[in-house]
Structure 1
Amino acid sequence: MALSSSSSLLQGSFYSNFLSSRELKAPLAHSVLDLVPLAAGRTYRRQWMVRPFRPELRRSDSIGSVAATLVSPEVEDEIETDDYEKLAKKLENASPLEVMDKAFEIFGNDIAIAFSGAEDVALIEYAKLTGRPFRVFSLDTGRLNPETYQFFDSVEKHYGIHIEYMFPDAVEVQGLVRNKGLFSFYEDGHEECCRVRKVRPLRRALEGLRAWITGQRKDQSPGTRAEIPVVQVDPSFEGMDGGIGSLVKWNPFANVEGQTIWNFLLAMNVPVNSLHSQGYVSIGCEPCTRPVLPGQHEREGRWWWEDAKAKECGLHKGNIKQQEAYQNNGNGNGVAQTSESATITDIFNSRNLVALSRSWIENLIKLENRSEALLVVLYSPWCHYCQAMEGSYVELAEKLAGSGMKVGKFRADGDQKAFAQQELQLGSFPTILFFPKHSSKPIRYLSEKRDVDSLMAFVNALR
């Protein structure tokens, strides 16, 4: 998955170009994936029943209602947890259209699309292209941007649908605000507010379903979404039958890059949230979302005051690795160590960049006078935020080549994390430090703009 292409998409004038280029349309072939019958052998795992869909019946007007008339007692297929793992492998290389069609074929009126007001509109467009009836629900937290509400309205009119909105419990919201104020999440983390305004309303919505469809992609968030399958038994929420294993989660975009989604939206000329033209990429509640700055990964616009491992609201909490995995790995970005990540290709590779060792850094700190200034990035190679700034940092090194100052990198994860935190001001990845010629104390780059011009301005102001 090429993160460089995805991150470059999120910068510059892409969204303004997108909004000004609405005439282009492209045909999309509609093919249905033929799957082999699923195994129905008995296992020790929990079994639950999938009810076939009868297209002549109209969908429910309420996300929480149970369409009992959809039961066909003479035909019921038992589907096991193991079978969904096999199905995920079968669909791994399928197009989003094929995945969506299969989801609707299996679950009919008992499945709905979770629409967030961002690029999830692509899910609705694919649902329309299947030609099957579909349902859409959304969580109205009461704190969305005005542009997001306008977007909801335009989507309903464009597709001729009624989005089924879920709202937080008024008493719970009142208690939270009265006890802790309107902006407590800036001080004690966003989990409590998200639990009241998003997670519990979602739980109520899913209790009336057997499956749901999300817009998750593997390239969206470091550490929390890198391993999501196309389809899975939901590890966190329950469906209408109740109990673990009673809800199936579909992620048709799991293996699709962000740039591909936006190319599709452009080709199909569908409505988009106007916030995208203002630099917003991942869009949530207004107080917790801001535009993405140059050189940043798209997820850095969400809960920017928190460490990367916390950048989930709880709707997809099953993605988050166990805390012990983060601690054992020692990675400041909270990415669990795996056999794959242990051998991941290094980044910031350039003949103009110096790879610094621990002993080199220790000696550098002791020097009060240096022969030349030095710029160093503290990084982790599997950190998506570091990957997002790789191009600009390498370009900066090329521009500074022969200028009398060095540009270097120091891998500060794993065993080096504690040292970097104590001696090098490491807070989270990436951290950029400038070592002047005549000062023993390094100067930390505090801005979150990581484009070449911003980094060069920092260097020129100090050298």
Structure 2
Amino acid sequence: MAFAVTSSTAIAGSISSRSSPFYEQPKAPQFGSFQLLDRSPLPSTPVNSSRRRCAVKPLNAEPKRNDSIVPFAATMVAPEVVGKVEAEDFEQLAKDLENASPLEIMDKALEKFGNDIAIAFSGAEDVALIEYANLTGRPFRVFSLDTGRLNPETYKFFDTVEKHYGIRIEYMFPDAVEVQALVRTKGLFSFYEDGHQECCRVRKVRPLRRALKGLRAWITGQRKDQSPGTRSEIPVVQVDPVFEGMDGGIGSLVKWNPVANVEGHDIWNFLRAMNVPVNSLHSQGYISIGCEPCTRPVLPGQHEREGRWWWEDAKAKECGLHKGNIKEENLDQLNGNANGAASVADIFNSQSVVSLTRTGIENLMKLEDRREPWLVVLYAPWCRFCQGMEGSYVELAEKLAGTGVKVGKFRADGEQKAFAQKELQLGSFPTILLFPKHSSWPIKYPSEKRDVDSLMAFVNALQ
């Protein structure tokens, strides 16, 4: 394992002239290839609060690293900390930092945890985290999970990032015995048949668990706009609800999400402005990048997360690294089984779109000699992918008005989901069907291009 550090001298010239105290570059002794900055000591007085707390020991405490991330140079020590942070109300800290910039949040994270915090780097647009860390002028560590099934472009990108920032990424690998048992028992591509959770658990979740046992905090690139139903409420800092840190037990690990409130296009504006290297897969249509067999480019009208595990329903767009994002009260809704889901605002609302009931669509299925063809979307209003195609579907319906083609919608979650799966070919949301003339069996739209032109071509070819 390698200890990733960066020097503050490379950027001192560009930020030392700023008047804000945040950008001041105090003089400090030089150690090896990086400079330890003389930052203000941490407060020693705990925050009094009845909310959930996380005990944090001083940074120079004896680390308990067993089978975890290990510093490259054993002789390097964390900056001396005056005082001790016994407890902190991270819920309150999250509120205090809610409107802070990613740079300020990153600086606060590195200041508080020093050598006991690391950036989780996936090889995608979260390279922005490394750039922010570099801009703080503080030493920082970076680790990544090498599942053994990443794209060649991702491995090349890792090497580029190391050379660009002068760091060493600390790679974590899955247990060879566990991978061997999985492949020998179920084959190389079992996740296409029984879901990706088991493979992700072996190749990603367990290696991450080992890595985090050597830390007191970690930094992720999660954003609220990334995934339907699972990341919309993530705070900028929190006590990790799933994993444990080096001290063990619930509350022993802190999770920082500096770009939680940043939208995807703003991340890319930042990367371009700072001339940050990016994965070459992005230029091929990939947005969210994971393992090669489970990632593909997104198509027009698709949400960025649809490129991941595309053969599964919207509820499955997480690998388990951030499963703590899913609240218990949201699980039923994500599975399409909640009665309370009726309170979610409906979509595809237009005079040109007919809302079909269960009886209505059953009658439509029984007609063997229809007067006009019907285009129907099977949807769930809480599904971000359905929401993403709402504009194009409504526009299509308005264009088809008066042409003899009826356009409808059928809400297929909750109690209707089992029926839709059995009778209407529902695989995932959204599913689009064309009920042509003179045929009782609907034709499923085979493409995931949901722009107006692609949908229109489908209708014109079959009506």
* Common fold: TM-score over 0.5: yes
Determine helix, strand or coil for the equivalent of 1:287: helix
Q: Which of these residues, 314, 323, 331, is aligned with residue 320 of structure 2? A: 314
Residue 338 of structure 1: CA displacement?
A: 10
Retained in 1: the 8 A contact 2:337–2:415?
no
**Distance in 2 between the 1:285 and 1:413 partners?**
29
Q: Deviations over 1:226-281 (max 9, x none)?
A: 22211111111111111111000011121221111111111111101001111111
Q: Does the 8 A contact of 1:31 with 1:98 survive in 2? A: no
* Equivalent residue in structure 2 for 1:78, among 86, 92, 95: 86
Asked whether 1:156 is paired with 2:162, we answer yes
Structure 1, 240-249 or 67-76: larger mean CA deviation:
67-76
Alignment partners' CA distance in 2, 1:42 and 1:257: 32
Question: Aligned partners of 1:38, 1:345: CA distance in 2, in Å?
Answer: 46
CA 1:420–1:38: 2 relative to 1, 3 Å:
farther
- Output aligned runs, 1:61-460, within 5 Å: 63-65=69-71, 70=78, 75-80=83-88, 83-322=89-328, 326-327=331-332, 329=333, 333-334=334-335, 343-460=343-460
SS at structure 2 position matched to 1:176: helix
Question: Which piece of structure 1 moves more, 247-256 or 66-75?
Answer: 66-75
Deviates more, 1:358-367 or 1:225-234: 358-367
Larger Rg: 2
- Aligned CA distance change for structure 1 residues 150 and 122 (closer, same or farther; 3 Å): same
Structure 1 unaligned blocks of 5 or more:
1-26, 55-61
The code of the aligned residue for 1:110 comes to D
Q: 1:363 to 1:193 in 2, by over 3 A?
A: closer
Q: Residues 30 and 129 of structure 1 are in contact (CA less than 8 Å); yes or no, is this contact kept in structure 2?
A: no
Does the CA contact (< 8 Å) of 1:51 and 1:70 recur in 2? Answer: no
Shift of 1:214: 0.4
Determine if contact 2:296/2:308 at 8 Å carries over to the other structure.
Answer: yes
CA distance in 1, matches of 2:253, 2:409: 45
Residues 209 and 240 in structure 1, CA contact (< 8 A), matched pair in contact too: yes
SS in 2 for 1:240: coil
Q: Relative to 1, partners in 2 of residues 1:193 and 1:174: Cα closer, same or farther, differing over 3 Å?
A: same
Instruction: Give per-residue Cα distances to partners, 1:420-446, cap 9 Å, x unaligned.
Output: 334433232111111223223322212
Separation (CA, whole Å) in 1 of partners of 2:437 and 2:345: 32
- Determine helix, strand or coil for the equivalent of 2:159: helix
Give the conservation status (yes or no) of the 8 Å contact 2:223–2:259.
yes
Distance in 2 between the 1:316 and 1:30 partners? 35
Q: CA deviation at 1:382?
A: 1.6
Q: Distance in 2 between the 1:184 and 1:415 partners?
A: 29
Distance 1:173 1:110 in 2: 29
Contact (CA 8 Å) 2:147, 2:291: kept in 1 or not? yes
3-state SS, counterpart of residue 171 of structure 2: strand
CA contact (8 A) 2:59 2:115 kept: no
CA RMSD of aligned residues (A): 3.1
Quote the Cα distance in structure 1 between the aligned partners of 2:454 and 2:166: 45
Letter in 1 for 2:280: S
In structure 2, the CA distance between the partners of 1:342 and 1:86, relative to structure 1 (3 Å rule), is: farther
Indicate conservation of the 8 Å contact 1:434/1:442, yes or no.
yes
- Counterpart of 2:335 in structure 1: which amino acid? G
| Aligned residues of 2:53 and 2:239 also touching (Cα < 8 A) | no
**What is the distance in 1 between the residues matched to 2:185 and 2:362?**
48
Q: Matched residues in 2 for 1:441 and 1:174: separation?
A: 44
Distance 1:174 1:417, change over 3 A: closer
Alpha-carbon distance in 1 for matches of 2:75, 2:379: 52
Which is worse superposed, 353-362 or 35-44? 35-44
Aligned-residue offset at 1:150: 0.7
Partner of 1:19: none
Report the count of equivalent residues.
422
Structure-2 change in CA distance of 1:156 and 1:295 (3 Å): same
CA contact (8 A) 1:53 1:107 kept: no
TM-score where L is the length of structure 2:
0.82
The change in CA–CA distance for 1:103 and 1:350 in structure 2 (over 3 A counts) is same
Please list the CA deviations of residues 369-412 of structure 1 after superposition, one character each: whole Å capped at 9, or x if unmatched.
33322111111122011112122212222322221112222222
Question: Structure 1 residues 259 and 336 mapped into 2: Cα distance closer, same or farther (>3 Å)?
Answer: farther
Q: Give CA-to-partner distance per residue, 1:54-80, whole Å, 9 cap, x none.
A: 9xxxxxxx8335999548686112224
> Which fold has the larger relative contact order, with Cα–Cα distance below 8 Å and residues 6 or more apart in sequence?
1
1:415 Cα deviation after fit: 3.6
Between stretches 29-38 and 92-101, larger displacement belongs to: 29-38
Q: TM-score, normalised by structure 1?
A: 0.82
How many Å separate the matches in 1 of 2:367 and 2:336? Answer: 34
| Residues 226/412 of structure 1: CA separation in 2 closer, same or farther (3 Å cut) | same
Displacement of 1:28 after TM fit? 11
* C-alpha spacing 1:149/1:376, structure 2 compared with 1 (3 Å): same
After superposition, what is the alpha-carbon deviation per residue over 1:310-346, rounded to whole angstroms, capped at 9, x for unaligned? 2222211212344x8544x4xxx5378697x654433
**Maintained 8 Å contact 1:379/1:410:** yes
| 2: CA distance, partners of 1:152 / 1:29 | 35
> Is 1:51 aligned to 2:58, yes or no?
yes
1:294 Cα offset (Å):
2.1
Distance across 1 between alignment mates of 2:105 and 2:81: 26
CA contact (8 A) 1:288 1:303 kept: yes
